Amino acid sequence: MWAIGKTEVAIRAAFKACMNAKQVAYLVPTTILANQQYETFKERMEKFAIKVELLTRFRTKKEQQNIIKKLKLGEIDIVIGTHRLLSQDVEFKDLGFLIIDEEHRFGVKDKEKIKEIKSNIDVLTMTATPIPRTLHMSIVGVRDMSVIYEPPQDRKPVKTYVLEYDQEVIKTAIIKELERKGQVFYLYNKVNGIEKKAAEVQNLVPEAKVAYAHGQMSGQELEDIMMDFIDKKIDVIVCTTILESGIDIPNANTIIIENADRLGLAQLYQIRGRVGRSNKESYAYITYKRDKLLSEVADKRLKAIKDFTEFGSGFKVAMRDLEIRGAGSLIGEFQHGHMEQVGYDMYCKLLDEVMKEIQGKKIKEPHDQDVQIDLNISSYIPEEYIENNNIKLSIYQDIALCRNEKELLDITDEIIDRFGNIPQEVENLIEITRIKNMSRTKKINKIAQKGSSIVFYFWGNEFNMDSVSKLIEKFKNNIKFSPSALPYITYKIDLNKSVFSQIKEFLEII
């Protein structure tokens, strides 16, 4: 049976590279996934005389040396492996294509290591939830991205519960799954206490056959446990995040995640994806310690994983991760951060300028300061208005990069032509960009709404004192000026009138 989804994309891309006499390296995060992909690739490629090999730490030293020798001589076309592929002794005769599966499991240093082997190789990264840096690189045009939206036939979304850890809830969940002849994943991401946790689960549900697995086990031991689970000799497997990638067991349709607040958003999404791989109803219980005060970031992650349960949510999860963590350094080792410090619009603009410079295009000077807008108004592109995420992100970027009224009118006309009448939320988005453009000429760096007041913050030495008297004359007691190194003006508005029109009226005077 052929693979479905990104594995099929990888197979076809690798085949194309081999037909062009290039070697392919397929980098995967776990030995379990490496074994599964090796068997799939081997089956699909054998009729075309394409030589496929597997290189992991669980191969004997002699086997590894033999594979490395054949890679250097060009006798192997496709090599599938884990971090072992990144070792200094691995050399290729003519590597032309690198595939990275579940890229969030690899650090930037890891990926740069293998790219150093040959500077002009093609790279395909595949994941359900791209890391913020990669996602942003695709948004601004540094990298191309394709999205698979269609789920396999008869698949159902995973019912997700985020809750404090409760033994009775866990017990009920396990018993419910066993009663319908199913199996359970129990994620406990601590090797030291995993045996004790497995015993605890066994005591909780005595009729269940419980085992545990983690990455520090020997290859044979781990493989034996996983095969027993696949063969339904085990009901509940307590394991670490080794299950995150590649395990495809259709009969396991309940997953319990303990201490979920310690996991990343992409990790949670991937782990939850281990269930719901058949036409049965599936359940995910995402738990955290009772009475634990969650950090703001952890709270946002758990809310996001609860909100996004429908198919195709990986992209939305990644976008939320981008919002939570920032985009990171595009050239360097940091996979997240930075964007929050300058604002997304400014980040887009700076990157746009760099890309134009690289492409030899003219850059408008001087570049403007970013303006931060924080109003109690919904401004976004609704799902029902533009469903395609790639198009939606492109429209977001086009609006954010508008620098004058003509550009705003052009993008407005384009949106209407392509998608019909603009909903209020998108109109708000355009109005916010219009206000930003007006604010730049007035030396304003931030506009924030606080209740019924709008606060305008200015660049310190750029403030025009003559405008204060004009504002007081126009708005009287509704204006309060606060002089300081970074002066600001508080404007009490009428909430029964348009906020945008009142802000624009203020900006026309200042």
3-state SS, one letter per residue, for 405-456: HHHHHHHHHHHHHHHCCCCHHHHHHHHHHHHHHHHHHCCEEEEEEECCEEEE
Tokens for 6? 């990104």
CATH code of 6-126, in short, is 3.40.50.300
Same fold, 6-126 and 159-311: yes
Tell which wins on pLDDT, 44 or 141.
Answer: 44
Q: What is the 8-class DSSP label of residue 383?
A: T
Whether the pTM exceeds 0.75: the reply is: no
Task: Give mean pLDDT, residues 72-89.
Answer: 91
Domain boundaries, the chain: 6-126, 159-311, 371-509
| 410 Rama class: left (phi>0) / alpha (psi -120 to 50) / beta | alpha
CATH of 159-311, one of 3.40.50.300, 1.10.10.10, 3.40.50.720, 3.20.20.80: 3.40.50.300
Token pair for residue 490? Answer: 């508080």
pLDDT band for 246, please (50, 70, 90 cuts).
Answer: low
Cβ distance 234 to 247 under 8 Å? Answer: no
| CB-based contact 263:189 (threshold 8 Å) | yes
d(CA 106, CA 87): 14
Q: In the predicted model, what is the mean pLDDT of residues 486-509?
A: 90
Place of tokens 């453009």: 437
DSSP 8-state symbol, 260: G
Q: Which two tokens stand for residue 259?
A: 């201490």
pLDDT band of residue 266 (cuts 50, 70, 90) is low
Q: 95-101 and 52-55: which strand pairing?
A: unpaired
- Mean predicted lDDT score pLDDT of the chain: 80
State the Cα–Cα distance between residues 325 and 318, nearest whole angstrom: 10
Class of domain 371-509: alpha beta
Cis before 366? omega within 30:
yes
pLDDT band, very low/low/confident/very high, at 340 (cuts 50, 70, 90) = very low
| pLDDT tier for residue 140 given thresholds of 50, 70 and 90 | very low
Could you tell me if 445 and 425 are in contact, meaning their C-beta atoms sit under 8 angstroms apart? no
pLDDT at 197: 95
Q: Which two three-digit tokens encode residue 469?
A: 């008297």
Residue holding tokens 């660049």? 459
Give the list of residues 6+ apart from residue 195 with CB closer than 8 angstroms, or none: 212
Tokens coding 119: 């500077």
pLDDT confidence band for 461 (50 / 70 / 90): low
